[in-house]
Structure 1
Amino acid sequence: MGRIGILTDDKHPLRAAIVLAVGFNLFTLVVFTVSGWARGPESLHESLVLGLPMMLVDGFVGFQLYFVLRRTERLQPVPRWGLVTIAVVAVALVQALWDTQLRIWADTLTMDLRQSYIRAATLNTYNSGMLAGLFAFQTAYMALQRNQSLLDEARQREREAQMLALRFQLNPHFLFNTLNAISSLVVLRRTDEAESMIDRLSSFLRGSLAADPDRMVSVEDEFEMLDNYLDIESVRFGERLVTAIHLPHELARAQVPPFLLQPLVENAVKYAVAPSRSQVRVEIAARERDGLLELEVSDSGSDAEGVGSGTGVGLANVRERLRLSFGSEGRIQVHKDMDGFRVTLTMPLNLPPVPAERPLTIAA
């Protein structure tokens, strides 16, 4: 922690106040010594003799203002600062009494006792007021830091809740479609296909429940989950569904939000494969472009009239998750033509370092 961090350490406010008080009194001691040097040898000798004991006692007495400020912080401004002002004057009077007595003991009193006391009281009132102001500023700054930390934490919790809500929004949607497909297979007495679909659904849900909605996963894991999903759908559509997944080896470890592409693939199946009587190709691809990661889901279904308005949780869900995860750096592009439908997601390319191999230990 740097010097500024020590002065604004909200976890140890007393320590931060002590550091501030020591710094303030050391600065005052330096100014007192330089002033004595500028006035001549006698004044410098006086400053060297009196400076340290004066600042030790004055610093200890002045530090009591910190406790006054802390114990009055719940009061309204007028009574609080009224009490602080009284405390500043009281501290200055005690400091002036010590400073004057110290000059008497050192035989350096150069003016009338009453005048010396008034002069010392005036200077100490100014110093004590400055120190109280610094304590107040330090406390206010630490409170601002604390509130900012709480605000950041609240925003993070809100983001986590939004991400979780978006994730939970997907599961019922997917489950409804899959269970409806299983029900159709059972009605058609295609029991072998229904059993196969149930097995694949179990594997898919096992991976889904294990995933943390707020933790990134590798593109490889994301594509593997989509491959499992398409395996489930292939039971419904047979040869009508043809899939292709393109993942360059160097992008396999890139980090993305989990289940980011599922609603896009689900839309491709629902709006391109399901209504088509011919074969439809669904492709999933990853590539790097200009230092960014692009993920793309496309289909060759020419009958995609319902996609623009019927995506429901699909595009809206993906767009919101991109915003929550990457802010303005996450973008979504939708392209629709006679050859089908294509959605491209762009986001920062986050490649974690390759873990170092553990050294082989051979037992003696």
Structure 2
Amino acid sequence: MYESPVTPAGIRPLAEAAKRADDGRQDRMWREGAVVTVALWSFTLLIYLPIILNRYEGMGMTSVLLDSSTILVSMAFAMGLFALFRAIHSLRRRVQVGIMILAVFAIAIVQSAFDLLFTGFVAHTLEARWLALPDDLLQSYGAAFNYAAVFAVNCALFQLAAGRRRAIRQERELVHLRASAKQAELDALRLKFNPHFLFNTLNAISAMVVTARNAEAEQGIETLSAFLRASIETDPDAVAPLEDQLQLVDHYLQLEEMRFGDRLDVIFDTPDEVGSVIVPSLLIQPLVEAAIRDAVEPSSTPVRIRIAAQRKAGGLELSVSDDAPRAQTRDGVMAVETVRGRLGALFGGAASVVVRSGDRGVETILHVPAAG
């Protein structure tokens, strides 16, 4: 049970928590890790090439090429670092940094040991190299430091590439969220001042007056007034208790019942306990409109529209369904995509939208994570 409203600022941490695992991996792409690794180590080889040439002076290019080929081993070690970089993305930043520092020094030592053995093999002077091992070990300390520096730069480039991708993704999500909110606002304005809807409603009220059903006409005017007032006051960018949305939908359906009469049968299956759950504004209104437009208007027989809500799997499950056998229309698909876009922008993969259509009508099921 939620006792206080949740602001949009309160929803965003939930959205970030729900999406952290997927986004962390998306920001650390294998392709980008490979690109920065190949670029960095190719540059490193270019810098050290004169040293390698001097090491094998008079021995031919075969030894130079074999020694240079160890750069492939360095790249493989670097990609191992990248695999670790991806695997620990969900840990705290300090823990990540500590693990990566230890990994850099460990791989630098392993790389230095490999170079020591490999260069001895390439030079074909294993005995001489063995005698010179103490001096080589002293030199390896410097090599290990150099490797640690390059591997550290490699990790920094991983983080830079991931940060760049993260910034691009967040910018796209922000644009998508703004577009979805703007679309919802436009839909709300269209509904508020839809001449066709207002004309039909006023025409139904007029018919009640002409046939001396004054009490019904008065009730219709009050309902229309309440609906228009609530529609104008609703902010598409805000969040609100579910009961507020259900009240708006109820006003809308009461007005449509005046128009369709017995052709429209409405059922609300919404327990009181879900009324205080916080959800994005105008979440189910587009789905109800689509059901009226696509199921009730074309039908000559009664159509039942059911709006249901229940707590489920740590969140809220909402559904809008009708029993008119049909497939979704283009407008119906657009309504669903508008809702899916808003939920995706706010909650990522933690929210879902499922549509079932066929001989039993169309049912749209929304799963909204708990917020609060």
TM-score, normalised by the number of residues in structure 1: 0.49
Higher Rg: 1
